[in-house]
Structure formats: structure tokens, C-alpha cells
Amino acid sequence: MAEDSLNWYLALLAGVALLRVAELRFSRRHQVQLLATGGRKVAEPIYPLMVALHAGLFVASALEVWLCQRRFVPVLGWTMLVLLGLCLAGRLWVWRSLGEQWNVQVVVSAQPVVDWGPYHYVRHPNYSIVLIEMCALPLVHSAYLTAVVFSALHAAVLWQRIRCEEAALLARPEYAAKMGTKPRFLPVPSRGR
């Protein structure tokens, strides 16, 4: 039974990793289109570290489960799988909303600012989703050390990334007007007056 759960967990990790590779291909195609239509790519010294953290998450999750003989705990594992499914639905909503403006690097586009879909509520819904995924994916099979370490590292790197991205985007008057007052990650109910 333990070997079976390890095998399907490794298959899950491989499937999610393949999805990330496909995302990189779509991102590259979108970047080319954005740059051809007046977009500008912003220098991101932290980007290679983000890529390394994402790749390392898959390796560390697999190694922790295998080497530490982590067990599949049904109540935790199934809950995290449901959470990952919700994250995938959220990603699809983000991709559909951004269309060809979606990519994995910071590109300031000349296209209209997207303020519908999840962007109607927050400035960075994709980052919220990724933070949840970084924790949930290892926890599917009880790799709690990987979940804690990689979530903390990713949050620190993401903080730097968001500072860079917002500096570039908020310089656009249209972005500042449409998105500047929205919360970053989670919709917060406005206070009644």
C-alpha cells in the first residue's frame, strides 16, 4: 500500500511539473507577442531563484516522501488534493482573464489593464494561488518539512518579486487608477461608512 501511494504521488508530481513546463512555453509565446506590441520586459534579478525554488519543490517533495518514508494520511492528503484542484481552477480563471497578457515574467504591456475576473478583487490572484500550491503539493503525501521550508523561501522571494512588479506596473497611470487601491492577495470586505 505504501509503495502504491508513493508511485501515484510521484505521478502527481510529474504531472504538475509537466503542467509547469507547458506554462513556460505559453509564457514565452505571450512574451514575444507583448514585446512585439510595445511591451517592455522588466529586469528581475530574483527570477532565476524563483525558477530554482519551483523546480526544487518537486525534487524535495519526492525525496522527503521517499527518504523519510512519509505516509499518505488520507484526511490530510485528500484535503490537499482538493485544495490543489481548487488552485488549478483558480489558475484557469487567471489565465482566461489575462489571456495573452499572462506570463511568468514581469512585462509591462501597452494593452489595457485587466481588472475583471479575479483581478476585479485583488491585484495578484496568481501569487495567492502559487503560495497555496507550494504548501499543498508536498502535504498531499505528508512532506511537511518541504512544505514549510519551500513555502517560507518562496514567500521571501515572492515579496521581492512583487516589489519589482508593482514598481513597474504602478508607474502606469491606468494600472494605478484601476488596481492601486485593491488588496494584493485576498479580497477584503470594505468597511461600511
pLDDT per residue as tens digits for the range 129-159:
999 999 999 999 999 999 999 999 999 999 9
> CA-CA distance, 61 to 80, in Å (whole number)?
14
pLDDT at 192 over 60: no
Instruction: Give domain limits for the chain.
Output: 2-179
> CA-CA distance, 37 to 16, in Å (whole number)?
31
Cβ-based neighbours of 52, under 8 Å, separated by 6 or more = none
CATH architecture of 2-179: Up-down Bundle (1.20)
Split at pLDDT 50, 70, 90, the class of 188 is confident
Give the dihedral sign, CA 10/11/16/21: positive
The pLDDT value recorded for residue 186 is: 86
Q: What is the reported pTM?
A: 0.90
> CA-CA distance, 86 to 68, in Å (whole number)?
28
State the chain's mean pLDDT as an integer.
94
The pLDDT value recorded for residue 1 is: 47
The pLDDT value recorded for residue 187 is: 86
40-41 vs 107-108, strand pairing mode:
antiparallel
Cβ-based neighbours of 144, under 8 Å, separated by 6 or more = 70, 138
Split at pLDDT 50, 70, 90, the class of 190 is low
For residue 4 the three cell numbers come to 502504491
> CA-CA distance, 123 to 111, in Å (whole number)?
16
pLDDT at 21 over 80: yes
For residue 101 the three cell numbers come to 497578457
User: What confidence tens digit (pLDDT) does each residue in 86-137 have?
Assistant: 999 999 999 999 999 999 999 998 899 999 999 999 999 999 999 999 999 9
pLDDT at 189 over 80: no
- Percentage above 70 pLDDT, the chain: 97
> CA-CA distance, 101 to 179, in Å (whole number)?
16
Q: Which position has the higher pLDDT, 75 or 185?
A: 75
